[in-house]
Amino acid sequence: MTSRQNHHRVRAERGIPEATVARLPVYLRALTGLQDRGVATVSSEELAAAAGVNSAKLRKDLSHLGSYGTRGVGYEVEYLVYQISRELGLTQDWVVAIIGVGNLGRALAGYGGFASRGFRVAGLLDADESIVGQEISGMTVEHIDRLEDIIAGHGVSIAVIATPAGAAQGVCDRVVAAGVTSVLNFAPVVLSVPDGVDVRKVDLSIELQILAFHEQRKAGGPGDYDPVAGGGAPPGATQYVEA
């Protein structure tokens, strides 16, 4: 049976709730920011403010990792950074392959956030002969035919799919067959994968549509037209985020 993009996975014995896992990277970023500013300890209230969450939620999230705070004082920044990094698996390197070197693939290849957090790009692959061989961000684009070689050879464990929609499922099947169990999908399709494979999806178009929905509602509900709804203070407006 093929499972679909279901992020509400079963808890393991160690059981960190999925919602918590999704917030840990945010805390981590806030913490490294504090670290850079030389802050040694931080209270849950301060850190929660920096991360944009409720402080009780932050404390409960951190409590799932263990008791790393000191009552009356707060959390030691450096130690917390280490604990969260370890929990997220960032104390080791992860090897990534980017498949599809169009506009987006190029942007991803040049994204600094990869290397800085322990993600190493082992290869850029594309099916287009005119792109293969090009040098991008210091890497040479390989032909998609070499997909299996590269995955096996470099020990790729995360595949980033940035192909056109039509090619995505086929590529996904191949990377999964080659042993990859984590996929980050930028193509606007729902990927089917076997159980045990994680897929996360990033979709610009969907995000815009969700924004449009709320924007429309601020402007007066479905059917009403007024895209230039700026300025005003919408009553009972909503706040969202999250990805």
Where on the chain is the footprint of DNA (CB under 7 A)? Answer: 6-9, 11, 17-20, 42-45, 53-57, 59-60, 62-63, 67-75
Verify binding: residue 99, its own copies, rule CB under 8 A.
no
Q: Cα separation of 185 and 187, whole Å?
A: 6
- Could you give the string, one character per residue 25-44, with x where binding to its own copies holds by CB under 8 A and - elsewhere? xx-xxx-xx-xx--------
Verify binding: residue 117, its own copies, rule CB under 8 A.
yes
**Size of residue set near its own copies by CB under 8 A:** 124
Q: Cα separation of 131 and 141, whole Å?
A: 7
Residue 189 in tokens: 């399709």
Describe the chain by its helix, strand, coil percentages, rounded to 5: 40, 20, 40
Give the nearer residue to its own copies in terms of CB position, either 56 or 145: 56
Verify binding: residue 64, its own copies, rule CB under 8 A.
no
Q: Cα separation of 140 and 60, whole Å?
A: 45
In angstroms, what is the minimal distance from the CB of 73 to DNA?
A: 5
Q: How many CA atoms lie within 13 A of 106 on its CB side?
A: 7
In angstroms, what is the minimal distance from the CB of 153 to its own copies?
A: 11
Pairing mode of beta strands 135-136, 139-143: antiparallel
In angstroms, what is the minimal distance from the CB of 167 to DNA?
A: 28
Give the nearer residue to its own copies in terms of CB position, either 119 or 143: 119
